[in-house]
């Protein structure tokens, strides 16, 4: 009898951990899937584009596409500053619900969604909508940052 309980508990834990992993993996791909929905191409097209698209971001956007990415980064920052999300890389661990309706991403208004999930969905929705105003990039302009040299005497 004890081994049957052990087996049942193990099976439940395995299912629960699989559901958690699926949600976290899904969180990594929300923006990717929204781009596929609205643009018919991958969000990776914008990775390492200009000063703001990709990891991090600073400086003056090189063009309108880069400006979309700057607003996206600042949208995530605002979600943290407003207290909707914790100050961690939450976009990688907090999935949200949305649907694709005739090539239009629609964020879920489900009461079960946290303020953070709703904020992140809106940020991703807004950047994809912004990118949709422009043709898919065929080249990736680099950020024109001046390197400051510090000489220590």
Which residues are part of the catalytic machinery? 72, 124
Burial 36-47 (b: 16+ CB within 10 A, else e): bbbbeeebebbe
Does 73 carry a binding-site annotation? yes
Q: Is 98 helix (H, G, I), strand (E, B) or coil?
A: strand
User: Which single residue is written with the structure tokens 């105003």?
Assistant: 133
Does 54 carry a binding-site annotation? yes
Residue 128 dihedral angles phi and psi, to the nearest 5°: -65, -40
CB-based contact 87:119 (threshold 8 Å): no
**Residue ranges of the binding site:** 54, 56, 73
**Residue ranges of the binding site for Ca(2+):** 54, 56, 73
């Amino acid at each position: 009898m004890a081994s049957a309980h052990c087996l049942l508990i193990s099976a439940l834990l395995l299912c629960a951990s699989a559901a958690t992993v699926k949600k976290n993996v899904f969180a990594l791909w929300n923006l990717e899937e929204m781009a596929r929905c609205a643009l018919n191409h991958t969000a990776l097209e914008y990775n390492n584009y200009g000063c703001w698209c990709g990891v991090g971001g600073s400086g003056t956007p090189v063009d309108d596409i880069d400006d979309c990415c700057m607003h996206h980064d600042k949208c995530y920052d605002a979600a943290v500053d407003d207290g909707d999300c914790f100050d961690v890389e939450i976009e990688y661990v907090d999935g949200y619900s949305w649907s694709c309706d005739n090539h239009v991403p629609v964020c879920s208004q489900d009461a079960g969604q946290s303020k953070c999930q709703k904020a992140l969905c809106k940020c991703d929705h807004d950047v994809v909508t912004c990118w949709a105003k422009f043709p898919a990039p065929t080249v990736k302009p680099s950020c024109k940052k001046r390197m400051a040299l510090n000489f220590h005497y």
